[in-house]
Amino acid sequence: MTQSALGMAYLTHAQLGNHNAGEGSKQLSDLKMYGNRPYISGQAYRHAIREAIQDSAEENVECTPQDACGDLENCLLCDIFGYMNMDLDEPTPEKRVSPLRVTPLVGQYDADVTTDMILQYAPGGSRKKDDDDDGNAEENKIGYRELTDNVYKGAWMLDCDSIGQREREGFDDDNEPGHRYERDLDTVVEDRPERVQILLDGLKNASGLAGQARHMADFMPDVVVATANDTYSQRVTNTLHIEDGELNIPAFESVVEDLTHDGGDVWVAGTHNPTVMDNWDAFFDAAEADENVTVCDSVSDCYDKLAATLD
Ligand SMILES: [Zn+2]
């Protein structure tokens, strides 16, 4: 594979729902909030990506995080998401750092919150308490779910070198200077680009967040800045700043300078949705004019551009 790090920062409008509930109580699913803005935790988002991969991949996705197998060759999930399992025996290491890192998805606008009432019928269907003479019949239950909509900002980075490879760190204690620490990568999977492609498809199509049966929402990014680089860094996370409804274009241009300084590629794409920012057209004009940026025809095309760096 030619590039060792792929990444993306994005903005996405998600429709009304409660896509990642907080602690709440028995009757209430509250929203996870950061100030007046909802957020979706990195854990919930990783879970959604994992589910998308389990749905699309035909094999090697039966593992669970609670009892991770650690078999990178035969397990896409341990390979992509890392694992920790202290019960594993030599030579399988007890843990692996995830090659895929994600930020939480954070709402960019102060949010109005409404509450949806959820009626859970007692076993046997709708029934009033009076219908049962002994008074022991189960009653219908009422729950409440807080709902909001927002434009979320998020980012992910993938350390491609680690996919399909086992990292081994060694400490040399022979007291010779210069050889104290070594990092080796042993290839354990033949078709590593195929694994990255499966992951990119999972990232693109992830939708398995909470509440989708009643509050379906689209999580595919509306605005994307993607990058491929020789050196792993998480700089792309800083490309998109919304301030008072407008995307900060000089901040975008300045981070793009960094991303491309050492030969990295940057792509920008959007699915027209002016809800996301007030200066939509000005941002895309600036991206078109930036010689370091390639503007893609569609968001889907942008994922294809990342995949093409693997050939
Ligand atoms: Zn596994």
- Report CA(309)–ligand 1 centroid distance (Å): 27
The verdict on residue 104 lying in a domain is: yes
Kindly state the helix (H) or strand (E) to which residue 277 belongs, with its residue range: none
Report the DSSP pairing between strands 293-295 and 265-270: parallel
Q: Is residue 136 part of a domain?
A: no
Q: What is the pLDDT of residues 266-311, one digit of tens each?
A: 999 999 998 899 999 999 999 999 999 999 999 999 999 999 998 7
How far is ligand 1, taken at its centre, from the CA of residue 88, in Å?
Answer: 11
Cα 69 to ligand 1 centre (Å)? 4
Considering the domain boundaries, does residue 282 fall inside one? yes
**84 C-alpha to center of ligand 1: Å?**
10
Q: What is the DSSP string of 18-55?
A: -SSB-S--SSEE-B-EETTEEEE-HHHHHHHHHHHHHH
Is 121 part of any domain?
no
Interatomic CA distance for residues 179 and 176, integer angstroms:
6
| Cβ(224)–Cβ(273) below 8 Å | no
Q: What is the distance between the alpha carbons of residues 294 and 211, in angstroms, rounded to a whole number? A: 36
Pick 174 or 296 by higher pLDDT: 296
DSSP state of 254: H
Number of helices (H), then strands (E), in the chain: 6, 17
Assess contact for 156 and 101: CB atoms under 8 A: yes
Residue range of the domain that includes 258: 5-20+31-109+149-308
In a domain, 127, yes or no: no
106: Cα within 13 Å, side-chain hemisphere: 13
Is pLDDT of 167 > 90? no
Q: Give the distance (Å) from ligand 1 centre to CA of residue 196.
A: 16
Question: What is the CA(270)–ligand 1 centre distance, in A?
Answer: 35
Mind listing the pLDDT tens digit for each residue in 227-253?
999 999 999 999 999 999 999 999 999
Give the count of domains, the chain: 1
C-alpha count within 13 angstroms, C-beta hemisphere, residue 209: 28
Is residue 66 in some structural domain? yes
Q: If you measure from the C-alpha of residue 74 to the centroid of ligand 1, how many angstroms do you get, rounded to a whole number?
A: 8
- Note whether residue 120 is domain-resident: no
> 57 CA distance to ligand 1 centroid (A)?
14
pTM: 0.90
Q: What pLDDT does residue 168 have?
A: 79
Average pLDDT, the chain: 91
Give the pLDDT score at 234: 96
pLDDT 10s digits, 8-23: 999 999 999 999 988 8
Q: Is the pLDDT of residue 82 over 60?
A: yes
Q: How far apart are CA 82 and CA 102, in angstroms?
A: 13
**Is 59 a member of any domain?**
yes
Q: Which residues sit with Cβ closer than 5 angstroms to ligand 1, an ion?
A: 63, 68-69, 75, 78
